[in-house]
Structure 1
Amino acid sequence: MDRAPRTVTVTADRSEARAGLGFGVAAYGLWGLLPIYFKLLSAVPAVAIVAHRIVWSMVALLVLVLATGAAKEIATAVRHGPTLRLLLLTSVLIAINWLIYVYAVNSGHILAGSLGYYLNPLANILLGRFVLKEPLGRMQWAAVAIAGAGIAVLAAGALSHLWISLTLCCSFALYGLLRKIAKVDAIAGLTIETTVLLPLAVGWLAFTSGGPQPVWGTNATELALLIFAGVASTTPLLLFTAAARRLRYSTLGVLQFLAPTLQFLMAVFLYGEPFGQAQAIAFAAIWTAATLYLISSLRSARTHAEMLPE
């Protein structure tokens, strides 16, 4: 009697997982390419770029809210104390992450930024295990150990900028965890976060406009890039939060290797940042770990599928 409903549920779960995988790949791919965008704004202070990201993201989000009818969910989240408190925390975390990331790109430390995002999957996997109680097999633990060893080698050669890496790692790992826990969808949650940060961004731009720093860019092209930064920032973050709601958090840890790898290659081959023996060892170890974890995850998914009813 209950076979049909159970089959429908399994099909829906698989569909959600496939959608989450697509969202995750798109999010991390776009994040991996963002250094190119922000390098075009290297004359603008990092704080100004982040302030513009917030202001113009708000405009883009208002359009999305009107188009999707998310206002009701926003009102529900605001009235729900625990959810609102979580979103207040995530707004601070994402602002810190944005600021440090833009600073890393425009100060010539993309490699330090990529290290931070290489650390992120390990943090996600461990948070998934110890906070969300997601099980890890022996191969998955081996992947964590190998990636950790590779990152340790890389960190040993980049101690002067390790604070960038650690801040990026901790802020975004905690952001993703809290957004997974928060009972609110991607558009509503990001709209609330942006609304929290908006007065600070507008106030900072108003206070510094007319000063010695080019907070509105040095020409029309830079101004256009600053305005479009809202869409460039909002799109991958929406994709990420949509993925986080559909995937195991440890699975996000695997996908997240995509963004720092793109950044790593870009830093070395496009912007000429130094690539030594430590970087080569770390790169090989991290991708070995990612491959091991991915194989383990696929085996687990195949075993689970075989146990499901027809």
Structure 2
Amino acid sequence: MNLSHLLQGGLAWTTCAYVVWGLIPLFYQHLKGVDAMEIFAFRVLWSVPLMALLLWITSTPLRVFRLLMEPRSFAWLFVSTACISTSWYLNTWGATNGQVLMVSLAFFLTPLVSILVGVFYLKETLTRLQLVALLFCAGGFLYACLNLASFPWLTVGIAVAFGGYGIIKKQVRIDTLNGLAAESLLMVPFAVFYLIGNAGQTHWEQSELDTQILLMLTAPMTILPLGLFAFGVARLKNLSTIAILQYIEPTLYFMLAVFVFGEVIDQERLTTFVLVWIGFVVFSYDAIRRAKLARRASRITLDEPASSGAA
């Protein structure tokens, strides 16, 4: 398989998106000491013009304002905005407060939330392997709750917010770029309210130019991987590949936390991660297996009319 084929297929673009997401803690280490809410506020404000630019560059039809005017779409987008805002804030707080390891665990547990929502809300039926994966992930989470020094609120918050975000996005038929543009617009009033309420006390006003530049760069650090992801997913023929690729991000978080930032990986945390990793392997295997069965069934269905005609 040559390079041009990889790029056209979307696998390379999607992989790059998850790699960039996974390395973002390296960027936020330079903003230690800056309040996570201030980082979030500037991330939102600078994202709006960048989203407009990205919509224009990709020639994506502008549907943002029409969606915000529809009551049902607005309601779902408002809830999804609350979820992604919570995830952004907690992720940023964890990256700037020496909790990258627990953020990593949150993203490993996200499929657990998605499975639970699918079972209880969408009335989906679990396969045997999904049930096994669920039990291992749940076991890892319960072990963490019982054995860690404090309840892992950061992990729970991110996993629930991000997992809920993925489910909610399925309720609104909107492309990735327009969806994020709408969510960014909905966040703007809260960002502005925070900055006005803290006027004269923010790092933006009190720090040197390098900190201001870093705060401005929080937006492209958000938009760049999103653009790579949207570009890649649109070209992926086998979307079940994402079930595997999505774990690049928390894996890189884990490696950075342990080998770069020197966060402690004691027996309790290691046991938790091992249980969750086993669940992840089972979950991924099941996703790949079901995707292969679906493709095989579709090929058989396509071949049947031709065979009947030949007879």
Q: Is 1:63 aligned to residue 53 of structure 2?
A: yes
- Alignment partner, residue 117 of structure 1: 107
Q: 1:29 to 1:70 in 2, by over 3 A?
A: same
Residue by residue over 1:14-67, the C-alpha shift from the partner in whole angstroms, topping out at 9 and shown as x without a partner, is xxxx75x76664443332221111111012111110011001111101112333
After superposition, where does 1:260-279 map in structure 2 within 5 Å? Answer: 260-279=250-269
User: How far 1:68 sits from its partner (Å)?
Assistant: 3.7
User: How far 1:269 sits from its partner (Å)?
Assistant: 1.3
* Contact 2:48/2:185, CA 8 A, preserved across alignment: yes
- Alignment partner, residue 215 of structure 2: 226
Residue by residue over 1:172-228, the C-alpha shift from the partner in whole angstroms, topping out at 9 and shown as x without a partner, is 1111111122111111111111111112213322442422x4135732222211111
Residue by residue over 1:102-131, the C-alpha shift from the partner in whole angstroms, topping out at 9 and shown as x without a partner, is 112212122222222222121122223443
* Contact 2:103/2:155, CA 8 A, preserved across alignment: yes
Q: Is 1:286 aligned to residue 308 of structure 2?
A: no
Q: State the identity as a percent.
A: 27
Stretches of structure 1 that go unaligned for 5 or more consecutive residues are: 1-17
* Contact 1:117/1:260, CA 8 A, preserved across alignment: yes
1: distance between equivalents of 2:275 and 2:227? 30
User: How far 1:241 sits from its partner (Å)?
Assistant: 7.0
- Alignment partner, residue 155 of structure 2: 165
Amino acid corresponding to residue 274 of structure 1 in structure 2: V
* Contact 2:240/2:287, CA 8 A, preserved across alignment: no
* Contact 1:124/1:250, CA 8 A, preserved across alignment: no
Q: 1:191 to 1:261 in 2, by over 3 A?
A: same
- Alignment partner, residue 4 of structure 1: none
1: distance between equivalents of 2:183 and 2:239? 21
Match of 1:136, SS state, is coil
After superposition, where does 1:18-57 map in structure 2 within 5 Å? Answer: 19=10, 25-57=15-47
After superposition, where does 1:84-123 map in structure 2 within 5 Å? Answer: 84-123=74-113
Q: 1:183 aligns with which of 146, 153, 173?
A: 173
Amino acid corresponding to residue 178 of structure 1 in structure 2: I
* Contact 2:241/2:288, CA 8 A, preserved across alignment: no
Match of 2:63, SS state, is helix
Q: 1:107 to 1:143 in 2, by over 3 A?
A: same
* Contact 1:78/1:84, CA 8 A, preserved across alignment: yes
2: distance between equivalents of 1:235 and 1:38? 15
Q: 1:257 to 1:67 in 2, by over 3 A?
A: closer
- Alignment partner, residue 5 of structure 2: none
1: distance between equivalents of 2:125 and 2:238? 10
2: distance between equivalents of 1:244 and 1:153? 35
* Contact 1:116/1:169, CA 8 A, preserved across alignment: yes
Match of 1:184, SS state, is coil
2: distance between equivalents of 1:238 and 1:69? 13
2: distance between equivalents of 1:134 and 1:239? 31
TM-score, scaled to structure 2: 0.82
Deviates more, 1:124-133 or 1:21-30: 21-30
